[in-house]
Amino acid sequence: MLSAHQPFETYPALIREAAHEAGGVAQVAGGVPAMCDGVTQGQPGMELSLFSRDVIAMAAGIGLSHNMFDAAVYLGVCDKIVPGLAIAALTFGHLPAVFIPAGPMTTGLPNDEKAKVRQLFAEGKVGPDELLEAESKSYHGPGTCTFYGTANSNQMLMEIMGFHLPGA
């Protein structure tokens, strides 16, 4: 459901292949639930957004609890998933860890144009169809949201802290 996580679909196989080529073994320890505020707004359960951090931390922690791993790779983006994964990584701080973002969404409708349509909608000058069209043009593909919101700020924080490769 999350455009920011769609690219991760192929990552486990790529990571396994790279580990194998380097003489290692990679295994998926678990998966975590992820929700996007942009998708869940106004829907039943939307208030679970911030609580999901704890569920994410526990799910990742349970996956690592087998004491079978020499390191961990965390795949995630956004203000719920990254903090939850960071909590799990800190809980298993004896394991070297790296966080891998999915990368940016390609540019769609520029933010100033999107903001203009939103303003016109708020003023009643355009209808819901025009608003939906603008939103669809803005968030039109896989990758991290195209605006500098929490998904991007979390990725920058992880890079600043040295958990992402520079430029990730």
Residues of the chain with pLDDT > 90, as a percent, come to 41
The pLDDT, as a whole number, for residue 59 is 93
Structure tokens at 132: 């939906």
The pLDDT, as a whole number, for residue 69 is 93
Confidence of residue 2 (pLDDT cuts 50, 70, 90): confident
Mean of the per-residue pLDDT values for the chain? 86
- Collect all residues with Cβ–Cβ distance below 8 Å to 60 and sequence separation of at least 6: 29, 30, 32, 74, 84, 85, 88, 89
The Cα 35–Cα 131 span in angstroms is: 23
Confidence of residue 96 (pLDDT cuts 50, 70, 90): very high
Q: Is 3-105+145-161 in CATH node 3.80.10? A: no
- Flag the least confident range among 46-50, 60-64, 89-93, 123-127: 46-50
Between these two residues, 78 and 85, which has the higher pLDDT value? 85
Mean pLDDT of 60-83: 90
Tell me: the pLDDT tens digits for 100-153? 888 777 777 887 888 899 999 999 999 999 988 888 887 777 877 766 677 778
> Helix, strand, or coil here: 66?
coil
Confidence of residue 39 (pLDDT cuts 50, 70, 90): confident
The domain spans of the chain are 3-105+145-161, 107-140
Q: From 126, 103, 105, select the one nearest 114 (Cα to Cα).
A: 126
CB 82 within 8 A of CB 99: yes
> pTM score, two decimals?
0.79
The pLDDT, as a whole number, for residue 147 is 66
CB 154 within 8 A of CB 82: yes
Mean pLDDT of 5-17: 91
CB 49 within 8 A of CB 37: yes
Question: Residue 10: pLDDT above 70?
Answer: yes
